[in-house]
């Protein structure tokens, strides 16, 4: 059995949250839909959820390479910012609970 991420334990393990987690973890990169398959969701699910996240302003289209469109978390969107903050706080709290020394660089 695959261990569930700390973030998904708090927010719920759904395809949408898996995609959001994947994008937040690689927040400095942009991804094609094929790259987002690594979030553990199906192709059909990606083709449904990604346009919804773009419409909500959580994801933005960054560029096109050939026929592929690349997406990135929209770090200027207030909701996306709050999701990033929540993700970071959950991970930091879990590391503290595991006895890890946490150094935060701001």
Q: Is residue 103 part of a domain?
A: no
Q: Is residue 106 part of a domain?
A: no
* Total number of domains constituting the chain: 1
* Total-model pTM: 0.84
Q: Is residue 10 part of a domain?
A: yes
Residue 62: which CATH number?
A: 1.10.10.10
Q: In 10 A of CB 73, how many CB atoms? A: 25
Q: Is residue 105 part of a domain?
A: no
pLDDT confidence of 106, banded at 50, 70, 90?
A: low
Average pLDDT over residues 67-88: 96
Residue 91: both structure tokens together: 């991970």
Structural domain boundaries enclosing 68: 6-97
Residue reference for tokens 């990033």: 84
Per residue in 6-57, pLDDT tens? 899 899 899 999 999 999 999 999 999 999 999 999 999 999 999 999 999 9
């Amino acid at each position: 059995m695959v261990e569930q991420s700390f973030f998904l334990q708090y927010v719920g393990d759904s395809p949408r949250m898996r995609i959001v987690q994947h994008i937040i973890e690689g927040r400095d990169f942009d991804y094609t839909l094929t790259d987002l398959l690594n979030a553990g969701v199906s192709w059909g699910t990606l083709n449904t959820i990604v346009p919804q996240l773009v419409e909500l302003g959580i994801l933005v289209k960054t560029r096109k390479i050939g026929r592929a469109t690349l997406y990135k978390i929209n770090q200027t969107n207030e909701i996306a910012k709050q999701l990033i903050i929540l993700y970071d706080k959950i991970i930091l709290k879990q590391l503290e609970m595991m006895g890890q020394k946490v150094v935060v660089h701001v």
